[in-house]
Amino acid sequence: MSRNRRVHAWSIALVCALVFLFSASPLQVLRANQDPVPPPAAGQDPAAPAAGRGAGRGGPQPYASVVTNAFTSDDGVFKVHTNKSPDTVLFEIPNTQLDKDFVWDVSIKKTTIGAGFGGQNVSSRTVRWTKRGDRLLLLNMDYSITADADEMVARAVADANYPAIISTLPIAAYNADRSASVVDMTTFFKDGVAEFRAGAAIGGRGVAADRSFLERAVSFPENVNVEAMLTFTGGGAADAGGGGGGRAGGAARGMRGPSGTVVVHHSILKLPDTPMMSRNYDERVGYDSDNKVSFGTDEHRSVRDQIINRFRLEKKDPNAAVSDPVKPITYYVDPATPAKWVPFVKKGVMAWAPAFEAAGFRNAIQVLDAPKDPEWSAEDARYSVIHWVPTQAESQTYINDPRSGEILSANLSVYPNIATYGDTWYFVQAGAVDKRAQKLPLPDDLQGELLRFVVSHQIGHTLGLTHNLKASALYTVAQVRDPKWVKENSFVASIMDDARFNYVAQPEDNMDPADLIPKIGPYDKFAIKWGYAPVPNAKSPSAEHATLDQWARQQDATPYLRFSTEGAAATDPGDEAEAVGDMDAVAATSLGLKNLNRVAAFMFAGTTSKVGDPWDDLETVYGRMVTQWSTEMGHVAKVIGGLDSQQVHIGQQGVRFKTVPKAKQVEAMQFLLANAFQTPAFMVNTDVLRRIQASGAVDRVRAAQAAVLTALLQNARIDRMTEQMTIDGPTIAYSPLQFLMDLRNGVWSEAAKPGTAISIYRRNLQRTYLSQMDQKLNGTPAAGAEIRMLVKGELKALATQVKAAAAAPGLDEATRRHLVDAGEEITTILDPRIPRPAPDPAAAAAAGGRGRGGIR
């Protein structure tokens, strides 16, 4: 039998098996393996063998014998019955709520230090209860594969996307008219069900039953909230638990000791009976999205669709150009937020109001203090909350309806020292222009504005918007320095860029210091309108296509409305994090370096006002300046071999990717040779260095310069330049041969000037160069044939240069030895069969001793 026939026969057998499997009921499939085990008894360790309770194997019991007088009941979307002795939670689920979709969200409310953080999301998944005999099945629903219900293929899609059974729950009792089923849910809240476990999020392995308690269970008209105080043991990483189908939360955080106690919050929220009409994703506008595969098309193939995530906004008056919404987007401020920061938090939220007005909604967004009601919970899945939590990074999550992309609620976290976190950034990036920032700590009003900025950015994410790193490259450097332009448009086109503060503006520009911090820009208003404005008379997502396409095409005439290009794969020098003015990275970085030198002049005085304190602020600011220098040099490096891009769709003029002009690439190369590969004076300021470290300044310079050199010599960059040369020719492209020659002559410029001394900083740079070349020829994996050919030629040319330079009269001994050593290293790189010199045993032992905690 041929291979093709064998594969075809095997495929038929597989399809038959799947048809049999999906034609069987879930209970038949389960019973074919084993009878499901009932959940564990109250107080029992979920990892221990389960014992029957309620119905068990004896079937449903009389209602009064299950829901006894010992239980406290709360009525809502389900009746919830709780008993604290022993801890038990019963759900009384009405038949009317069966086969309906709910979002089950798990988060950490309170925690032991080191075991995650308050407000941390653990998991979120869509579930459904369905009845099978005297059992309820809890199903995990997945809406990533779709087809219209009236399409013939819908049945096949349903069969191929059958819900996974999370748990089988014996019905403990029925109510009097059998309109509701009582099931024991205790094990779900004692971390006993993999899909909802919180232990993995904090690094716990098992639950200590004697130190774990149910705290509260409350039922509301749309949701149920349950909280449990759980003590985890074991430490270290735990099983991830759960599998697919949920939006996982933060990474595991290790417990500091053998035990960690957390309060875990479960919020089970009913999805809307009528899903919101979804809006299809467009790569030209930056929205978070859910992927779907649609089989119900006329194209006789599966079509990958994406729908954007957004809140539901509907006009009270559909015919009005601007209308109040039926239901506004509402955020609540965590009552733990210090009073002096609350106004800035609220200001950060309300900054988005003008964007929604441009989309046709008045009063679309609001921010309120948390209610005093004791039943109100910041972890309630119905509410969008800005949490004030002790974590080292701001974050945000939201709960959405996977059927439509509707954001049901959102949460973002800011941390108590957020202003301190922004202090050093602002000191380094804006201190040259804003005199308030020339001394730490910054004044409260300025720290509040930094907080406002962070909140505004994170609110944008909760509205569905993603980062738009291209926004920093959509204004000219002249516009970034123009006070009038910046006042009206900010210095980046979007607050959703990953830019921080205006480090390009100069003191002589007379910029209002308030405008050195990002604010809502024109792209943000454009994106909110594109995602939220109703499309008149459109009754389906496909009916919106022509209008949305027309709106997106505004980017052709107005470049600062553009979004990062799909598929650019880090090739666009304008698509950069932590950048300002990178439409012209050389000009922007030249101005940025001027400001760094200005900051260096007052760095010492600005960080040493706390008499009696250690030099922590000085060390932090110095490190931040080194990072800023490296970041700006990286922006220039990306110009070389770069591609300017714009996301265009069929019907728009032009191509998506264009090679950065040769003259611009050469300018970037010469700038790096003159700046990145010369020693920055502020990095070797002994007045600073001798106060913050015993040694390490030389290595710090080496590491900063090595990072730039390594980025320049990436194989992907050289391969890209080779392709550009092939496609565009020498008039447009910067040839990789010329690039490597320019780099060699710049890094080894002393070799062309006989008798020139080479400093330790430059020797380190040149050694890094040789190490990079060695990696390309002899590393694993080695570079491709084209790069190897170019590298060999460069090394042979360099060997000739260093040999002549080493023989020059009047050369200092350190430089001569370095050049001789470089020549020998080149010989070894070109022919790795030549043995390398054995390391000095004494030096190796000393290095090993230092690495293992020996004498320093």
Bridge partners, 181 (sequence order): 93, 174
Instruction: Report the SS3 class of residue 354.
Output: helix
Sign (positive/negative) of CA torsion 753, 754, 759, 760? positive
Rounded CA-CA distance 72/90 in Å is: 10
**Nearest of 403, 509, 537, 519 to residue 455 by alpha carbon:** 519
> In the numeric block, which tokens belong to residue 381?
């899945």
pLDDT band at 232 (very low <50, low <70, confident <90, very high): confident
Residue ranges of domains in the chain: 1-33, 36-270, 329-568, 748-856
- Residue 246 pLDDT class (50, 70, 90 cuts): very low
Instruction: Please state which of the ranges 511-525, 558-572, 837-851 shows the lowest mean pLDDT.
Output: 837-851
Residue 535, pLDDT > 90, answer yes
199: its two tokens: 């232990």
Eight-class DSSP state of 165? E
Contacts of 623 (CB under 8 A, 6+ apart): none
| pLDDT of 113 | 53
Helix 418-430 and helix 616-637: axis angle, to 10°? 60
Handedness of CA 471, 476, 477, 480 (dihedral sign): negative
Tally the residues of the chain.
856
Q: Which two tokens stand for residue 541?
A: 């997502």
Name every residue whose Cβ is closer than 8 Å to that of residue 755 and which is 6 or more positions away in sequence. 808, 809, 810, 811
Q: Which residue has the higher pLDDT, 842 or 482?
A: 482
The 8-class DSSP code of residue 310 comes to: B
Residue spans of beta strands (DSSP E) within 562-633: none
- The DSSP line for 754-779 is TT----HHHHHHHHHHHHHHHHHHHS
Element (H, E) at 717: helix 715-728
pLDDT for residue 436 is more than 90: yes
**Cα(794)–Cα(773) distance, integer angstroms:** 9
Any bridge partners for residue 657, and if so which?
645
The model's pTM is 0.83
Rounded distance between C-alpha atoms, residue 486 and residue 444, angstroms? 24
Q: Are β-strands 329-333 and 384-388 bridged in parallel, bridged antiparallel, or unpaired? A: parallel
What pLDDT, on a 0 to 100 scale, did the predictor assign at position 42?
A: 38
> What is residue 1's predicted lDDT score, i.e. its pLDDT?
40
Bridge partners, residue 316, by sequence: none
Flag the least confident range among 7-21, 375-389, 471-485, 595-609.
7-21
Q: Side chain identity at 172, as an amino acid letter?
A: A
| CA-based nearest residue to 218, from 91, 127, 334 | 91
**633-660: average pLDDT:** 96
Which of 459-463, 475-479, 504-508, 693-697 comes out lowest in average pLDDT? Answer: 693-697
Q: In angstroms, rounded to a whole number, what is the distance separating the alpha carbons of residues 146 and 634? A: 44
Helices marked H in 729-759: 736-747
Can you read off the two tokens belonging to residue 277? Answer: 């009409």
Q: What is the mean pLDDT of the chain?
A: 84
Give which of 334, 329, 287, 323 is closest to 308, Cα–Cα: 287
Check residues 797 and 697 and name the one with the higher pLDDT.
Answer: 797
Structure tokens at 825: 């290293």
Range with the lowest mean pLDDT among 107-121, 122-136, 375-389? Answer: 107-121
Half-sphere exposure of residue 202: CA atoms within 13 angstroms, side-chain side: 37
Q: Please tell me the predicted confidence (pLDDT) of residue 627.
A: 93
pLDDT at 836 over 80: no
pLDDT at 315: 97
Residue 201: its pLDDT value, please?
Answer: 64
Distance (Å, whole) CA 66 – CA 181: 11
Distance CA 626, CA 392 (A): 21
- Predicted local distance difference test score (pLDDT) of residue 681: 86
**pLDDT higher than threshold 90 for residue 673:** yes
Cα–Cα nearest to 430, from 486, 392, 374, 368 = 486
pLDDT at res. 518 = 97
Which two tokens mark 468?
A: 């738009």
Q: What is the pLDDT of residue 657?
A: 95
Task: With beta carbons less than 8 A apart as the criterion, state whether 129 and 93 touch.
Answer: yes
pLDDT band, residue 243 (cuts 50/70/90): very low
Task: For residue 445, count CB atoms less than 10 angstroms from its CB and return exposed for 0-12, middle for 13-18, buried for 19 or more.
Answer: exposed
Asked if residues 257 and 115 have their Cβ atoms less than 8 Å apart, the reply is no
Task: Please state, in angstroms and rounded to a whole number, the distance separating the CA atoms of residues 154 and 145.
Answer: 10
Q: 457 near 469, Cβ under 8 Å?
A: no
Cβ neighbours, 10 Å, residue 723: 14
Query: Exposed/middle/buried for 426, CB within 10 Å: 0-12, 13-18, 19+?
Result: buried
The more confident residue out of 335 and 393 is 335
Contact 11, 2 (CB under 8 A): no
Question: For 17-53, how does the pLDDT look when each residue is reduced to its tens digit (9 = 90+)?
Answer: 333 333 333 333 333 333 333 333 333 333 333 333 4
Q: What is the band of 855 on the pLDDT scale with cuts at 50, 70, 90?
A: very low
Interhelix angle 736-747/662-674, nearest 10 degrees:
20
Tell the residue number behind the tokens 């075991």, with chain if given: 115
Closest CA to 380 of 410, 405, 406: 410
Q: What pLDDT does residue 612 have? A: 83
Quick one: pLDDT band at residue 420, thresholds 50, 70, 90?
low
What is the spatial distance between Cα 81 and Cα 182, in angstroms, rounded to a whole number?
9
User: How would you label 386-409 residue by residue, b for 16+ Cβ within 10 Å and e otherwise?
Assistant: bbbbebeebbbbbbbbbbbbbbbb
| Closest by CA position to 740, among listed 762, 715, 707 | 715
pLDDT at 708: 96
Closest by Cα among 768, 760, 784, 770 to 826: 770
The amino acid that residue 518 corresponds to is: P
User: Which residues pair with residue 334 across a beta bridge?
Assistant: none
**Structure token pair of residue 424:** 């050093």
Coil, strand or helix: which one is 99? coil
Per DSSP bridges, beta strands 329-333 and 303-308 are unpaired
Please give the pLDDT value at position 191: 82
Nearest 5 degrees, angle CA 379-CA 385-CA 388? 90
Cα separation values, 340 from 367, 414, 416, 451, 495, Å: 16, 15, 12, 11, 24
The pLDDT of residue 569 is 83
CA distance 240 to 234: 14
Question: Is the pLDDT assigned to residue 151 strictly greater than 70?
Answer: no
Distance CA 137, CA 161 (A): 17
pLDDT, tens only, 158-193: 555 568 899 999 999 999 999 999 999 999 998 888
